[in-house]
Amino acid sequence: AQKVTQAQTEISVVEKEDVTLDCVYETRDTTYYLFWYKQPPSGELVFLIRRNSFDEQNEISGRYSWNFQKSTSSFNFTITASQVVDSAVYFCALSEAGNTGKLIFGQGTTLQVKP
């Protein structure tokens, strides 16, 4: 069965520290997409990145970077030089080719960045 696990429930760091959010997934499909969303206190889920199962290249966007490793079924998210505005709940999600497009979400990781 498909599943997404975010083992870190809460992480607290001091501003300017680097932080990595872990995501491990399970799927029987060979074709799938992985996503990261940010949910600030306002509640809206903000799309961050989409990665397909055939593209294992790491991605960097400003202070954000993502490491996708099929061998370990992981899709980890790193924030470099964290800022207070990064404080939010972050969700990893899976979409499978054999499905209708619905997203399977992890439980989320709450990141608190202290000044």
Partner 1 sequence: EAGVAQSPRYKIIEKRQSVAFWCNPISGHATLYWYQQILGQGPKLLIQFQNNGVVDDSQLPKDRFSAERLKGVDSTLKIQPAKLEDSAVYLCASSLGDYSFTDTQYFGPGTRLTVL
Q: Out of 34, 51, 86, 96, which residue is the one contacting partner 1 (CB under 8 A)?
A: 96
The whole-angstrom separation of Cα 83 and Cα 3 is 30
Point out which residues pair with 108 in neighbouring strands: none
Should residue 95 be labelled a site residue for partner 1 when binding is judged by CB under 8 A?
Answer: yes
Should residue 93 be labelled a site residue for partner 1 when binding is judged by CB under 8 A?
Answer: yes
Q: What part of residues 2-61 is at the interface with partner 1 (CB under 8 A)?
A: 4, 32-33, 35, 37, 42-47, 50, 52
Query: 30-50 burial by CB neighbour count: b if 16+ within 10 A, else e?
Result: eebbbbbbbeeeeeeeeebbe
**Where do contacts with partner 1 occur on this chain (CB under 8 A)?**
4, 32-33, 35, 37, 42-47, 50, 52, 91, 93, 95-97, 99-103, 105-108
